[in-house]
Structure 1
Amino acid sequence: MTTENPLTTLYKEADGSKISTDIYLPQSNASSPRKYPVVIDIHGGAFMLGHSRMVSIPQVNDCLDRGWIVLVPNHRLCPGVNLLDGPMRDIRDLLAWIHNGHLDTFLKDHGPYQADLDNVAAFGTSSGGHLALSLGFDVPVPVKAILSLYGAVNFSNPLWSKPIPHVAAKLPQNLSAEFLNRIYDEIPIPTDSSVSLEGQTESGASKGPDFSKARDAFAFTQIAGGTVPSVIYPQSQSTDPGFDLVDPARNVSAGFPPTYIVHGQADTMVPIDLSRDFLGTLKGAGVECGMTEVPGEEHTFAAMMKVGSQTWWLQREGFDFLEKIIGKGPN
């Protein structure tokens, strides 16, 4: 197996949506099954874009070198389903799927691998960072550690409703409401889109969004207009409970898993102050935590960074934090 050709299996079906996860296995020369830490790697895309093949393969390889089994799941995409009932529910169901023994059942046919259920961690970029954090609360067994790379938190902060002019400048002028709203007609709810927030396509190439597709046009229109939180979770517009059920920043307690944050100092899409404030919330609750600020980096830098660069080594501090908590896999 290579990172170009991971194993894939369904972990869930919901209202006609077949939801899969890719599985990457570290090298093993063992003659009998051995337990390996498991890391869930969740793609970004503003909860509306992307799929499991749109993650940083160098990051996956780094995890494999540490002896971890890596799961990269798909999830249903907003706005045809809301954040809580769609992406968060799906990723939480993946964690339950692992703990209920289904990953081990799948692995029996693929080598000497067993999941170390005492050492399951999660990380993700952008919206994937939020979904990784959502595995730290309101779940029967939280993950043991979390890494959020420029993750979406603090949804009630005014920064989330601030328009982003450089994104708006890319939008065509003739996008009608009728065209944009076609996204609500997609049944079953899709679990993949043709382009990610980072600009990656299915082939892994990097290019801009295709505004002839309603999903691309809708997502970038919301990002440009500062309306993402209200679109992905319309329930937040009511005064009670608002964002209480979906915002990690409102669900931190002393029992929250150890958490590390990596964020670019030049991020204009999820401003770094959101992560700085979240770090303060973690510290205030006594949670083991840390943060690396990456100089000069915009949002989505993980998709474009070069192995060996300063950015590479800085973001890798987050994975060193995970390793400190969950350990390495067996040699």
Structure 2
Amino acid sequence: MANPIRIRAVYKVVDGQEIDTDIYLPHQDDTHSLHPVLINIHGGAFMLGSSEMVNPDQISDCLARGWIVVVPNHRLCPGVNVLEGPMQDCRDLLSWIYDGSLQKAIPDTNVDVDCDHVFAFGTSSGGHLALSLGFGVDRPVAGIYDMYGPCNFSHPFWTTPLPYVPHPDSLSKEIIDQVYGEKPVPIRGGVSLEGQRTAPGPPDMSDPRQAFAFSQISGGTVLKAIYPSEEYDQVDPLKNIDGKFPPTYIVHGQDDKMVPIDLSRDLLEELKRKGVKCDMTEIPGEGHTFAARMKAGSRTWELQRLGFDFLESLIER
């Protein structure tokens, strides 16, 4: 596919800082037909990453389906907690789409926004943020595709150190103060945990934000870092599912050691218990953050596409 049309738009301003989103447009014609919207949220343990760090092949796949793809930045923890930062930003983006602002951001096109079919998708922490658009909002998304997103925060895994994750030799008070003291709170940070082409190579432990993030991941203290109040039920998708929760599809690697697949299996069971339309695909041989490494046309690629097929099945023809 030729390079897609990409437009940058600002969807909110906080403390004088513009928080922006990339908008990718499908092929334009003269029909003025309605186009569903996919919100594509990057991963990064809520502390790292940016809108540039998503899989371009997945974007192309969704554009070929005739969808508008919206890839937002959001404020990064720990300078703001996950509820008031990343979750609130993504929820404000959803309101921005619903109130007609997305349509206003693409005025000179023949692409009309279908606000009845706004979907959410994300990888890793982005999967959690996609799930967060199914609760705590006046109007949830029409469907969710969660790719190995964190949930079930009462599980003992979330306080278990991970010795196989890179970590700094030490974390000085100077580094900690620097990360917490960043003003404004950054919306782009360090590397992507997904290993995207835009950020190759190992983490740079001389970068305070990267050193801080990997210290929390390896030490089993991510939740405390992103939500110090420890009232995790407020931000745990598994604890906020009801019968009105949007249809949800989950994809997870069977060999994931960063977010164990059992957490997604628990989420699936809760969705079923509450009568939510849902399904899950387990990817053999894949660990965490495989979305960036997979090759279009591979077995993994075809299996993960089932999530987008699920969302497409929710569109009335």
Q: TM-score range by the shorter chain?
A: over 0.9
Report the Cα offset of residue 235 of structure 1: 1.3
Q: Partners in 1 of 2:295 and 2:32 — Cα distance?
A: 35
Indicate the residue corresponding to 1:239 in structure 2: none
1:78-136 CA distance string (max 9 Å, x none): 00000000000000000000011101111112x10111011110100000000000000
SS at match of 1:81: coil
TM-score by length of 2: 0.97
Q: Is the 8 A contact 1:258 1:287 kept in 2?
A: yes
1:13-56 CA distance string (max 9 Å, x none): 111321000000110222x5321001100000000000001001
Indicate the residue corresponding to 2:122 in structure 1: 124
Does 1:207 find its partner at 2:193? no
SS at match of 2:28: coil
**In structure 2, which of residues 283, 299, 304 is the aligned counterpart of residue 310 of structure 1?**
299
Q: Partners in 2 of 1:278 and 1:91 — Cα distance?
A: 21
Higher mean C-alpha deviation, range 244-253 or range 262-271? 244-253
Does 1:137 find its partner at 2:117? no
Q: Is the 8 A contact 1:120 1:326 kept in 2?
A: no
Q: Is the 8 A contact 1:51 1:193 kept in 2?
A: yes
Q: Is the 8 A contact 2:37 2:119 kept in 1?
A: yes
Amino acid at match of 1:209: P
SS at match of 1:308: coil
Indicate the residue corresponding to 1:97 in structure 2: 96
Q: Structure 2 vs 1, CA of residues 3 and 255 (structure 1 numbering), >3 Å: closer, same or farther?
A: farther
Amino acid at match of 2:173: A
Q: How does 1:180-329 map to 2 (within 5 A)?
A: 180-200=176-196, 204-236=198-230, 242-326=231-315
Q: Is the 8 A contact 1:121 1:322 kept in 2?
A: yes
Q: Partners in 2 of 1:92 and 1:39 — Cα distance?
A: 14
Indicate the residue corresponding to 2:146 in structure 1: 148
Q: Is the 8 A contact 2:25 2:68 kept in 1?
A: yes
**Structure 1 gaps, min length 5:** 237-241
Q: Is the 8 A contact 2:168 2:214 kept in 1?
A: no
Q: Structure 2 vs 1, CA of residues 195 and 4 (structure 1 numbering), >3 Å: closer, same or farther?
A: farther
Does 1:179 find its partner at 2:166? no
**Structure 2 gaps, min length 5:** none
Q: Is the 8 A contact 2:190 2:207 kept in 1?
A: no
Q: Is the 8 A contact 2:146 2:250 kept in 1?
A: yes
Indicate the residue corresponding to 2:10 in structure 1: 10
Amino acid at match of 1:147: Y
Q: Is the 8 A contact 1:161 1:227 kept in 2?
A: yes
Q: Is the 8 A contact 1:145 1:326 kept in 2?
A: no
Report the Cα offset of residue 3 of structure 1: 4.8
1:205-254 CA distance string (max 9 Å, x none): 42111111100000000000111111101111xxxxx2122111111001
Indicate the residue corresponding to 2:161 in structure 1: 163
Does 1:72 find its partner at 2:71? yes
Indicate the residue corresponding to 2:59 in structure 1: 60
Q: Is the 8 A contact 2:79 2:179 kept in 1?
A: yes
Q: Partners in 2 of 1:186 and 1:35 — Cα distance?
A: 41
Q: Which runs of 4+ in 1 moved over 3 A?
A: 1-5
Report the Cα offset of residue 2 of structure 1: 5.8
Q: Partners in 1 of 2:199 and 2:138 — Cα distance?
A: 39
Higher mean C-alpha deviation, range 177-186 or range 293-302? 177-186
Q: Partners in 1 of 2:237 and 2:219 — Cα distance?
A: 23
Higher mean C-alpha deviation, range 156-165 or range 277-286? 156-165
1:272-302 CA distance string (max 9 Å, x none): 0000000000000000000000011010000
Q: Is the 8 A contact 1:23 1:71 kept in 2?
A: yes
Higher mean C-alpha deviation, range 11-20 or range 218-227? 11-20
TM-score by length of 1: 0.93
